Structure 1
Amino acid sequence: MTLAAAAAVFAAGIGAGTINTVVGSGTLVTFPVLLALGLPPVTANVSNTLGLVAGNISGVLGYRRELRGQRGRIIRFGITALTGGLVGAVLLLALPSRAFDVIVPALIGLALVLVVLQPRLAAALARRRERSPGGNRAASPDGGPVLLAGLLLSSAYGGYFGAAQGVLHLSLMGVLLRDDLQRINALKNVLALIVNAVAALFFLCAARFDWRAVLLIAAGSALGGRLGAKVGRRLPPTVLRGVIVAVGVVAIVQLIGRD
């Protein structure tokens, strides 16, 4: 890996760590860079998951104030996220590598649609709550079995390919929980950490990865996680979504264009 390539991976790690802490979809920044360096898609995905764990930890620490009083949720939702993340990681290695080449462009496309539609979904949710009797009280304090099922599926998606799992978690909890968005975002960061950590532990024992890419993304995402917790909320949402969509399109083009 050349010095320029290493710098690109490190910078992508910073961007991914920041974006993951703010909303999610940081994989759409790092994954295309690893593909551009010539890593096979599955190896790139595994290396990316391992590296982003450091950023997840950094983001959780940055949001620790908003996690106060959420111990019960963390335990209940964390067990669900752990189960789903492990299932997704197993599927990544159990399915043929060709399946990843076919499935992931569609998953990235879905992730990009969610990123683009997120403001409209949030606005629609706000209007729905305003019309509901009791406003925000119409949402459940714990989400019930519907939320657990949704988190299980979205965590399985995250264990297989992590792009936009944060968007999925935020959307589900935003609809089904009765709480402040910043507290929900803090909880989202914990769930992302659990999903990536269990997938990473599984990959350490059963998958091939590039240690250089892992270490560079880990260093960059750890820094990005702190930046995301401190200043990420101030970034113009339109600019942030534009960057995510641009790199996601690059990833789709690279995957489809591979022999």
Structure 2
Amino acid sequence: MDLSQVALLVAAGLAAGTVNAVAGGGSLITFPALIAIGLPPVPANVSNSVSVFPGYVASVAGSRADLPEWRGLWRLLPTAVLGTVVGCVLLLATPARAFELVVPFLVLGATAVLAFQDPLRRLVGHPAELSARRRTVTVQAMVAVGTVYGGYFGAALGVMLVAGLALVLDATLARVSAIKNLLSAVVGLTTLVVFALFGPVNWAAVAVVAPATLVGGYVGARLVRRLPPVVLRTLIVAFGTVIGLYLLWRALGQ
């Protein structure tokens, strides 16, 4: 890599770490940057998944005050690990084309769920009205689906997790975002282990991008705590819409 390529990856890592902490979707900044320096798509996707992990950890550190003291939170972590492993296996063992066509609709659907959260809650019931058993099963299912996606591709993972969790948890959006950061870090650690062992990781690119996402992730997490819920929701919906449309354009253009 020359100096201009290093500068591009550092800038992309800083931006991606911040965006991931605020709304999710930062991988759509680093992934094209890795493609731009000459990596093929699969190595770029794998290297990208490894690179953003430090940013997720920094986001957890920045939002730790908003994490609930809820025993059930830690019961989500094995589900997140299993779902991520399934997604990683899908990426390494199956053709990507069919899933690439589905991903944009998943992202746009998750964004719509968040945008119309209140009407949907009136249809399916407010989380406070659900039985403890039904709420537990629903949250576990949301986490399983989101982390399979995260292990496979990962871009807009934050949007999908926030949308699903906000629908089934009776919590503020800042607290949901903190839970999203923790689950994203678990996804990131799991993909790091799987792809380090079995994936075509470009470690030189990771060494440049990862420290930048660490700084951006902490800054973004601190920013979330200062944003009013309406502004935070609007940002996430806007990011999700742009990301979904971009992925759709890219998938249909191939």
Q: TM-score, normalised by structure 2?
A: 0.84
1:92–1:11 distance in 2 versus 1, CA, 3 Å: same
Structure 1 unaligned segments of length 5 or more: list them: none
Distance 2:192 2:141 in 1: 23
- The alignment partner of 2:52 has SS state of helix
Which segment is superposed worse, 248-257 or 105-114? 248-257
The equivalent residue for 1:138 is 129
The equivalent residue for 2:101 is 106
Distance 2:185 2:167 in 1: 21
Kept after mapping to 2: 8 A contact 1:104/1:161:
no
1:65–1:27 distance in 2 versus 1, CA, 3 Å: same
CA positional deviation for 1:150 = 2.5
CA positional deviation for 1:126 = 2.2
CA positional deviation for 1:247 = 10
Structure 2 unaligned segments of length 5 or more: list them: none
CA positional deviation for 1:12 = 0.8
Amino acid at match of 1:109: P
The equivalent residue for 2:246 is 249
Superimposed CA distance per residue, residues 38-78 of structure 1 (whole angstroms, 9 cap, x where no aligned partner) = 211110011111111100000000000011413x2331111
The equivalent residue for 1:226 is 218
2:209 equivalent to 1:210: no
1:206–1:111 distance in 2 versus 1, CA, 3 Å: same
The equivalent residue for 2:82 is 83
Superimposed CA distance per residue, residues 124-171 of structure 1 (whole angstroms, 9 cap, x where no aligned partner) = 2224547998x6623566732122123212211100100112111111
Distance 2:236 2:171 in 1: 27
Amino acid at match of 2:80: A
Kept after mapping to 2: 8 A contact 1:14/1:221:
yes
Kept after mapping to 1: 8 A contact 2:14/2:215:
yes
Distance 1:128 1:253 in 2: 30
Amino acid at match of 2:104: G
Instruction: Count how many residue pairs are aligned between Structure 1 and Structure 2.
Output: 248
Query: For 1:171, which of 149, 163, 169 is the aligned residue?
Result: 163
Kept after mapping to 1: 8 A contact 2:20/2:158:
yes
1:215–1:124 distance in 2 versus 1, CA, 3 Å: same
Distance 2:85 2:182 in 1: 16
Distance 2:2 2:237 in 1: 28
The equivalent residue for 1:11 is 11
CA positional deviation for 1:121 = 3.4
CA positional deviation for 1:229 = 1.2
1:254–1:171 distance in 2 versus 1, CA, 3 Å: closer
1:176–1:66 distance in 2 versus 1, CA, 3 Å: same
Query: Following TM superposition, where does structure 1 have runs of at least 4 consecutive aligned residues deviating by more than 3 angstroms?
Result: 120-123, 127-133, 139-142, 232-244, 250-257
- The alignment partner of 1:63 has SS state of helix
